Amino acid sequence: MSRDIERIKFTGGEYYDVEVHFSAPHNYNHIIEFKIYPISHWTGLNDESGWSYYNKTDSNHHDIFSEEDSKMLFYGSYRWRGVWESRIYFPDGEEYWGSELMEMARIFKEWVAPWCKEWLQKQQPELLMDDDLI
């Protein structure tokens, strides 16, 4: 069982704007789990705006997040085990273009990994964690 930590939107990607859901297993502070969902910004009449989630079964969007219905790009974990260790999984078996994979790698390297590392270091400040390793 995991506890939700935070949900953060990262925008400005070439292919994807994403919302990252961070969680951690109860009673274990050396690991953080993440799930990456693509999102789409919309603007309507009267200057209304918001974010939508991609539906995992078709090309429709929905405004309310649902783990059962929302498309997930990838998920994984980040931990300290004497070195930084990360794992990434693709849930859908979809085919991705090389440029899309490069964008996903950028999302992980520039946004997800630094956030995870900072959170873990705050949870365990007494551990010697090398900042140069990802």
pLDDT digits (tens, 9 = 90+) for 73-131: 999 999 988 888 999 999 877 788 898 899 999 999 999 999 999 988 888 777 666 65
- pLDDT value of position 134: 47
User: How distant, in Å, are the alpha carbons of 3, 113, 130 from that of 85?
Assistant: 20, 10, 12
pTM attached to this predicted model: 0.84
pLDDT digits (tens, 9 = 90+) for 54-76: 888 877 888 888 888 888 999 99
pLDDT digits (tens, 9 = 90+) for 27-48: 766 889 999 999 888 888 888 8
User: How many of the other CB atoms lie within 10 Å of CB of 123?
Assistant: 15
User: How distant, in Å, are the alpha carbons of 68, 71, 84, 89, 115 from that of 60?
Assistant: 14, 11, 38, 24, 30
